[in-house]
Amino acid sequence: MVALVTACSSGGSGADDESATPVSGGTLTYASYRDATCMDPHVSPGDIVGELQRNVFDSLVAQKSDGTFAPWLASAWKISADGKEYVFTLRPDVKFFDGTPFDAAAVKANFEHILAPATKSQYAASLLGPYAGTDIIDDHTVRVRFTQPYSPFLQAASTAYLGFYSPKVLAEHPDELCGGGRYAVGSGPFRELSVTHGQGIEFERNPDYAWPPATARHIGPAYLDKLSVRYLTEDAVRTGALRGGQVDVIAGTPPADYQALQQDPAYRIVRGDAPGAPYTFFFNQSKEPFSDIRARQAVSAAIDIDGIVDSIYLGVYPRAYGPLSASTPGYDASVEKRPGYDVAKANRLLDELGYTGRDAQGYRIKDGHRFGLVLPYASNLVRESRDLVTQAVQQDLKKVGIELRLTPVDYGTYTTIIAANGYDLVGASWGRSDADVLATLYQSDRSVAKGGANNGKVADPQLDALLQQGRATADPAQRAAAYKQAQQLILDKAYALPIYVFTGVYTAAARVHGFGLDANGWSNFYDTWVEHS
């Protein structure tokens, strides 16, 4: 629902006609390839939650495609000279679905709810950074204070994770919010009618909506009467449903189907590289073997990233070179010049580590112990053929004598394994249109328990200082310099291995118009409309 960053390609009449006059009404059916166990954006870190609940929860500001910010629920804002205080002037006409007015008290109630220990926020709490408190100046003026300068706050405040619930539902039903549905009481363009885990979500238009972000293409209620979301995890099933007319838009267009759909005038492809951290392997440095940099370097050199990405994604998703995606503000393009695949280097480093023997299966051994690694993943949340990526990595590592044991489990078991430190590496991506995403993934105090995702167990004072420097200055050049050094340091120390850049690749039927992506590369349905038959 924020800045549109669409890049469209199709054949013939499949191209969206921007000159066509939008019409209201109708239902659009959207097929996603992933589900979520909790639909509360104050709790869940899932991108599917940030994407779908954007339809329900509005934000203070909207992020534009150039990285700047536009008014939304806040019509204006001022930042103190020391970067520790943000004063927002709020729109006076906004109401939640239950009729409760959106005001300064609502801002305060939501931020306090996010930080309350009982909420158990897995991500939103970290977006509030060094939060000190919220002051109600008057009904429509609010001051948010921080203990330290916090330059990423506007970007954080633009996300659905810091979106706003009615204070009434926070007070009366705090334990019901993960279920969504009638407890998802926001102020957005769509109301959530029902949530059926494993199947989908049903939304209906909010007829009173009149406060879209300044980046929107129209003012007033959404065009669609209803938005129906279906969870179709199998690639072939999604494409088949689109071709069969059962759905109007699909997410995660399969690379194998991309060219055919692109050339078919009955469809239109909308794509945009997702900013943030690309799909990456994070090495657990809290124990052997990855407590030794040579082990991290050896594994990194043994994997043919170009070959894997080309063979699986067929040019649809680009390979990653650094800890940030290229579309992220602050990306350092010089990371693309670094050396990569080098089997000879991998073998030399493994020899240096003392893994010079081989067992009957051909795996390297040292003092009778095999060089074996455990990589768990939640099988019910696999996306973009990431299981095929890990299998290809497994084969590359076997060639140099490393055993990679893939452990597919359900999400609950996965979180238990992570909490018990029962893994050697994990794969993940993280969407956010700010280089501060690096703090979520690499800052020493950002464990999962503290709302972060430092699953590599990185504890580097130099890196912490650079990430703090990037947060503490509002000067774009100084921020870029700090984050450039941080990206280089992460690669110098081989803390992680970036694999590919997640790209939002959606395919829409020709009858769908106005569909685009926000600054995170996620779907925007507020301006979307459908032709009536």
The DSSP result for 441-494, as a single string, is HH-TT--GGGT---TT----HHHHHHHHHHHH---HHHHHHHHHHHHHHHHHTT
What's the confidence (pLDDT) of residue 501? Answer: 94
What's the confidence (pLDDT) of residue 11? Answer: 37
What's the confidence (pLDDT) of residue 446? Answer: 82
What's the confidence (pLDDT) of residue 503? Answer: 86
Q: pLDDT under 50 in the chain at which residues? A: 1-15
CA distance 483 to 488: 9
What's the confidence (pLDDT) of residue 450? Answer: 67
CA distance 333 to 331: 6
CATH topology of domain 276-501: Dipeptide-binding Protein; domain 3 (3.10.105)
| pLDDT tens-digit map of 108-118 | 999 999 999 99
Nearest to 106 by CA among 97, 115, 96, 98: 96
What's the confidence (pLDDT) of residue 476? Answer: 87
Domain at 27-272+504-530, CATH homologous superfamily: Periplasmic binding protein-like II (3.40.190.10)
Please state, in angstroms and as integers, the Cα–Cα distance from residue 351 to each residue in 290, 292, 295, 300, 401, following that order: 15, 13, 10, 15, 11
What's the confidence (pLDDT) of residue 533? Answer: 74
Q: List, in sequence order, every residue forming a beta bridge with 159; answer none if it has no partner.
A: none
Phi, psi of 287 (to 5 degrees): -155, 170
Antiparallel, parallel or unpaired: β 249-250 and 27-32? parallel
| Domain definitions of the chain by residue range | 27-272+504-530, 276-501
Taking each helix axis from N to C end, the angle separating 293-302 and 343-352, rounded to the nearest 10 degrees, works out to 150
What's the confidence (pLDDT) of residue 2? Answer: 35
SS3 state of residue 152 = coil
What's the confidence (pLDDT) of residue 474? Answer: 84
The DSSP string of 67-134 is S-EEESSEEEEEE-TTS-EEEEEEPSS-B-TTSPBP-HHHHHHHHHHHHSGGG--SSHHHHT-SEEEE
SS3 state of residue 407 = strand
SS3 state of residue 291 = coil
Reported as half-sphere exposure (CB side, CA atoms, 13 A), residue 214 has a value of 17
SS3 state of residue 166 = coil
Type of residue found at 499: I
Residue carrying the six token digits 């429509």: 140
What's the confidence (pLDDT) of residue 383? Answer: 84
